[in-house]
Amino acid sequence: MEDVILVVNCGSSSLKVALFSPRLQHLAGALAERLGQPDAKARAGVDKVHVPLPKNANHEDALAALIRHFEEQRLLTRQPLAIGHRVVHGGEAFRAPALIDAEVLEAIEDCTSLAPLHNPVNLTGIRATQALFPDVPQVAVFDTAFHQTLPSKAYLYGLPRRFYDDWGVRRYGFHGTSHSFMLTESARILNKPESETSIISAHLGNGCSITAIRNGKSVDTSMGLTPLEGLVMGTRSGDIDPGLFDFLRSRGIDGEALSDLLNNDSGLLGLSGSTNDMRTLIRQADQGDRRCADALAVFCFRLARYIGAMMASLDSLDALVFTGGIGENSDRVRKDTLAPLGLLGFSLDSGANEKHGRDSKHHIEHSNSRFPVLVVATNEEAVIASAALAQSC
Ligand code: ADP
């Protein structure tokens, strides 16, 4: 059995693990959900085989059960070569993946105030994996690191300067592994060196963000201090008027309720009142549901505005790139988003746009489009595996 790299991605109530070969082939994956709840469950592999978990299983229980499952399936017959962890917030401390030691753990802990929902659970995953594999090198790969090249004009907010100086309040940006993968893939498709490639990368999944990359460096991005800012998302509001907070306070919505509202009950779900799944939303919009039609229109229009905004950070554009579950699969979202951007010179080939997904060509622009438009499947786990291998050698 060959060596493997283990990738661990801990969400607030979920755990994803994957095994890769040293040549970065995906060998196996597994997912545990509803952790901490009585109906915690886990499944593994393409067949979604049920993996038994103890009642109220936590992240440690789930990790142990999934590793045991891999061992029983003989997918893991010896210690992994390296382990890569997705860590959401690396603050200004991390511009690149880091081999985990006591100092790195402390620095991740220090970033907890910037990502209270994410970093503690990422640390739990790291500690649980360290307990299982104490001798294996472990590497943290940060969602924020790729955006550490943002210039200050893009990362400072119009707030008193001391908020940044004293508390680190600034735009950090997220989805960095996906946006950096888009850079690598676009450079490969366009046959250019990464350092000379400039793209706008739109990652549209449950969370959505868009990044301007100039000559291989992130120079602007839509998510901010937290992953709540910017585009309309599945359940997150994206940009809103901060004056809303006063208004909602006067209606008794404050503190945790406000955070819950903006993170979990807004976006496509809030607008439609029924779903955060883009496939369902489009189907219901086409069946005449007015709220779903509005939700789709708001989603696409916000994205179109941001594509325009990202142009302000570029002096040339090699491609606009769509990725994520929505970006890769929804020809409707791509079409509705680019429809109002004719003035900027974007034009889609409707056949190529609709067909995408059934062939492996990435280009969907019309021959008269000013800029190429690409659809590229993201692979954040492979980026993490590759970083883990590189850092641990
Ligand atoms: P996550 O951010 O959780 O990784 P994904 O990248 O898997 O999420 O994206 C999930 C979104 O992708 C959902 O809104 C889902 O409806 C959407 N999606 C997946 N397939 C399609 C499709 N064929 N058409 C439209 N939307 C799709």
CB 201 within 8 A of CB 179: yes
Q: At 66, list the tokens.
A: 């999934």
pLDDT of residue 113: 87
Q: What is the pLDDT of residues 106-149, one digit of tens each?
A: 999 999 988 888 899 999 999 999 999 999 999 999 999 999 99
Mean pLDDT over all residues of the chain?
Answer: 95
pLDDT of residue 46: 87
pLDDT of residue 12: 83
Q: At 107, list the tokens.
A: 């620095």
Of all protein residues, whose CA lies closest to atom 7 belonging to ligand 1?
A: 325
Tell whether pTM > 0.85. Answer: yes
How far is ligand 1, taken at its centre, from the CA of residue 279, in Å?
Answer: 8
Torsion, Cα 84 85 88 93, to 10 degrees, reads -60
- Angle formed by the axes of helices 102-110 and 119-132, to 10°? 160
Three-state secondary structure call for residue 28: strand
CB-count burial class (<10 Å; 0-12, 13-18, 19+) for 157? middle
Longest dimension (CA), the chain: 63
Of all protein residues, whose CA lies closest to atom 12 belonging to ligand 1?
A: 325
pLDDT of residue 359: 57
Q: Does position 357 have pLDDT exceeding 60, yes or no?
A: no
How far is ligand 1, taken at its centre, from the CA of residue 292, in Å?
Answer: 16
Q: What is the pLDDT of residues 58-80, one digit of tens each?
A: 999 999 999 999 999 999 999 99
Q: Tell me if 234 CB under 6 Å of ligand 1.
A: yes
Q: Does position 358 have pLDDT exceeding 70, yes or no?
A: no
Q: What is the pLDDT of residues 179-191, one digit of tens each?
A: 999 999 999 999 9
Closest of 336, 333, 343 to residue 369, by C-alpha: 343
Mutational test site, ligand 1, from 330, 337, 384, max ligand atoms within 8 Å of CB: 330
Q: What is the pLDDT of residues 246-263, one digit of tens each?
A: 999 999 999 999 999 999
CB-count burial class (<10 Å; 0-12, 13-18, 19+) for 375? buried
Question: Where are the alpha helices (H) located in 111-243, listed in sequence order?
Answer: 119-132, 152-155, 161-167, 176-190
Average pLDDT over residues 51-61: 93
User: Residue 93: which pLDDT band, with cuts at 50, 70 and 90?
Assistant: very high
Q: Tell me if 205 CB under 6 Å of ligand 1.
A: yes
pLDDT of residue 249: 95
Average pLDDT over residues 266-276: 97
Mutational test site, ligand 1, from 143, 269, 278, max ligand atoms within 8 Å of CB: 278
Q: What is the pLDDT of residues 276-327, one digit of tens each?
A: 999 999 999 999 999 999 999 999 999 999 999 999 999 999 999 999 999 9
* Catalytically annotated residue among 143, 220, 318, 331: 143
In which residue are the tokens 């103890």 written?
54
Q: What is the pLDDT of residues 374-386, one digit of tens each?
A: 999 999 999 999 9
Give how far Cα 99 sits from Cα of 96, 122, 138, 142, 185, Å: 10, 15, 6, 12, 25
Q: Does position 166 have pLDDT exceeding 60, yes or no?
A: yes
pLDDT of residue 85: 98
What is the percent of the chain where pLDDT is above 90?
92
Q: What is the pLDDT of residues 193-238, one digit of tens each?
A: 999 999 999 999 999 999 999 999 999 999 999 999 999 999 999 9
How far is ligand 1, taken at its centre, from the CA of residue 31, in Å?
Answer: 17
> Is 246 among the residues known to form the active site?
no
